[in-house]
Amino acid sequence: MQDLTNQILELVRLTSTDLPPDVEDSLRLALEQEEPGSAAYGALETIIKNVELSRKNSTPICQDTGTPIFYIKYPEGWSTRKLRQQIENAVAEATKRAYLRPNSVNSLTEKNTGNNLGDQHFPTVHFEEVEGDTLTIDLMLKGGGCENVGAQYSLPNSKLGAGRDLVGVRKVVLDAVYQAQGQGCAPGFLGVAIGGDRGSSNYASKEALFRTLEEHNPDSRLSELEAKITNDANQLGIGPMGFGGNTTVLDTKITHSHRLPASYFVTISYMCWAFRRRRMTLKDGKVRYS
Amino acid sequence: MQNITLPFTDDIIRSLKVGDPVALTGTMVTGRDSVHKWMIDTFIKKTRTPQGDDLEVLEAIKPLLKGSAIYHCGPVVSGLDTKEYLFVAAGPTTSIREEPYQGDVMRYFRIQGVVGKGGMGPKTLAACQEVPGVYLHAIGGAASLIAQTVTRVLEVFKYDFGVPEALWVIEVKDFPAVVTMDAHGNSLHVEIENKSRKVLEELLASA
């Protein structure tokens, strides 16, 4: 089996320091929505300047380099144990090179391990065996500020008048955006999962965020709801950093899973504007990044 | 843009209003979750006996914090092995987690500037009126850009809290921020929350 430690290290560097083009484009479009001279406009200008500077100097876009969350799709024959080891080596080296901040803290002793390694959940790695011969490694760096404002609702929710249907889903998602205010570094991106259990719903809400901004939901009911939620959220007037303004949410991605008859969960993963997600693929011995 | 040299004066603090952009120059200290809890438990509520270098650190940071600013920041720092520290990425962290502690910490150390992101609540706002002080909002995530305003790392205390949680004493030049809570009881965050609540209620009713 090929050793991919160096290639994964490059994936980590790229993710931490170079914002994906679709995300950067959406920030530039957001700037056009704000009034020149307003605090919102100033915040977005600073954000865009920072994105350019981080790419140029190869320094982290945000100091909170978050939880490294890997989703790996591997062809038959790969060892997930070895892949995990290579990921851990790459993450520790990326920390040494200051692409990542040491972020892994033992919850009982309060000790920071200093190298972003910890137990089997840090870094987070999801594996799935797939057909074909392409290995795909998706990486998201998700900071604590936005992770803390994520939410999970159990429907029906009488306080919000949210029933077990897409109308109810819209209501709880808007409530989550309102609750978040500027705390999650708005303008944000929403990954929404309908159904599942409490655990799988959280997992799915993050996985939904890996769809690029151009990728529309194939289900028209959900693509319409995605657009409606983004539009409604932007009427809240929370704006960049919570300074007030027209851009609060830049995009919404919805996914759904089967559920128990008794449960109807809606889980919202809030991603900050510094939406650091990158993909590495390996096919015929060639590595590509996107 | 108002240029301010640290430490503050009461007159400058009282002249600042919500919405004012500022550029800070001088010495400030980073401190976030572990630091605030440590300060409250060990020195303010005294539910924990001082240990190790606690008292020594207390005496060292008192004059640094008096009249100056605490920065809610967990930086990415290079040169950890050689102790030639350099801030590589240093944007603000979410401040609201310090809401239970911040007001008392401000009063105890006479901190007049709280720098972070996302704003804080009524306890901190009350302390801003009393001390007097202001809350200065930096741009969340603008970490590379803000790190360039950190010209020097002067010292680090409580390194054992971990790199993000340690007290980093830094020299800054033209550190950019916006006043979002002032010494007169005004808060941009209260205003935006109230406005957005009304819109939310309308949106929920419209189905």
CA A5/CA A21 separation, integer angstroms: 25
Question: How crowded is the C-beta side of A161, counted as CA atoms within 13 Å?
Answer: 9
The rounded percent of chain A whose pLDDT value lies above 70 is 100
Please, is A237 exposed, middle or buried when counting C-beta atoms within 10 Å of its C-beta (0-12, 13-18, 19+)?
middle
CA B11/CA B141 separation, integer angstroms: 31
Which among A159, A185, A186 is positioned nearest to A171, based on CA atoms? A159
The catalytic position among B36, B72, B137, B189 is: B36
Average pLDDT over residues A189-212: 97
Residue bearing tokens 């028209």? A220
Catalytic site residue B36? Answer: yes
Chain-chain contact of A183 with B94 (C-beta, under 8 angstroms) = yes
Helix ranges, B16-53 (H): 33-39
Per the CB < 8 A criterion, the answer to whether A161 and B206 are in contact is no
CA B30/CA B72 separation, integer angstroms: 6
Q: What is the pLDDT of residue B129?
A: 98
The parent domain of residue B154 ranges over: 2-206
| pLDDT tens-digit series, residues A244-255 | 999 999 999 999
* Bridge partners of residue A125, in order along the sequence: A70
Chain-chain contact of B143 with A63 (C-beta, under 8 angstroms) = yes
Average pLDDT over residues A10-36: 98
pLDDT along chain B (207 residues), means of 10: 97 98 98 98 98 98 98 97 97 98 98 98 98 98 97 98 98 98 98 98 91
Q: How far apart are the first and last CA of chain B?
A: 43
How many other CB atoms are found less than 10 A from the CB of residue A41? Answer: 20
Q: What is the pLDDT of residue B207?
A: 67
Which amino acid, one-letter code, is at B158? K
Interface contact B148, partner A, CB < 8 A = yes
Q: What is the pLDDT of residue A256?
A: 98
Question: How many A-B residue pairs are in contact by the CB < 8 A criterion?
Answer: 167
Confidence of residue A285 (pLDDT cuts 50, 70, 90): very high
State the maximum Cα–Cα separation within chain A, in Å, rounded to a whole number. 57
Q: What is the pLDDT of residue A56?
A: 98
CA A51/CA B145 separation, integer angstroms: 9
Nearest chain B Cα distance for residue A238, angstroms: 6
Q: Going from the N-terminus, what domains does chain A have, and what CATH number goes with each?
A: 5-15+61-143+276-289 (3.30.360), 145-271 (no CATH)
Q: What angle do CA B89, A50, A38 make, to 5 degrees?
A: 125
Please, is B170 exposed, middle or buried when counting C-beta atoms within 10 Å of its C-beta (0-12, 13-18, 19+)?
buried
Chosen for mutation from A236, A241, A248, A270 (greatest number of chain B CBs closer than 10 Å) is: A241
Which among B154, B176, B148 is positioned nearest to B89, based on CA atoms? B148
CA A86/CA A9 separation, integer angstroms: 9
Q: Kindly list the residues from chain A whose CB atom is less than 8 angstroms away from the CB atom of residue B76.
A: 59-60, 63, 65, 98, 100-101
Interface contact A235, partner B, CB < 8 A = yes
Strands B69-71 and B21-30: parallel
**CATH number for the domain that contains residue B161:** 3.20.130.10
Q: What angle do CA B97, B100, B105 make, to 5 degrees?
A: 105
DSSP-derived 3-state class of residue B62:
helix
Rounded to 5 degrees, φ, ψ at B138 are -95, 165
**Total count of domains within chain B:** 1
Res A57 pLDDT > 80: yes
CA B131/CA A222 separation, integer angstroms: 51
Element (DSSP H or E) covering residue A47: helix A39-57
Q: Is the peptide bond prior to A156 cis by the omega test (within 30 degrees of 0)?
A: yes
- DSSP-derived letter for residue A181 is T
Q: Kindly list the residues from chain A whose CB atom is less than 8 angstroms away from the CB atom of residue B77.
A: 98
Interface contact A236, partner B, CB < 8 A = yes
Strands ordered across the beta sheet of A249-256: A151-154, A265-271, A188-194, A249-256
Q: Kindly list the residues from chain A whose CB atom is less than 8 angstroms away from the CB atom of residue B143.
A: 50, 54, 59-63
Q: pTM higher than 0.90 for the full model?
A: yes
Interface contact B195, partner A, CB < 8 A = yes
CA A128/CA A73 separation, integer angstroms: 5
- The residues near B49 (Cβ < 8 Å, ≥ 6 apart) are B42
Nearest chain B Cα distance for residue A140, angstroms: 15
CA B33/CA B54 separation, integer angstroms: 16
Res A1 pLDDT > 90: no
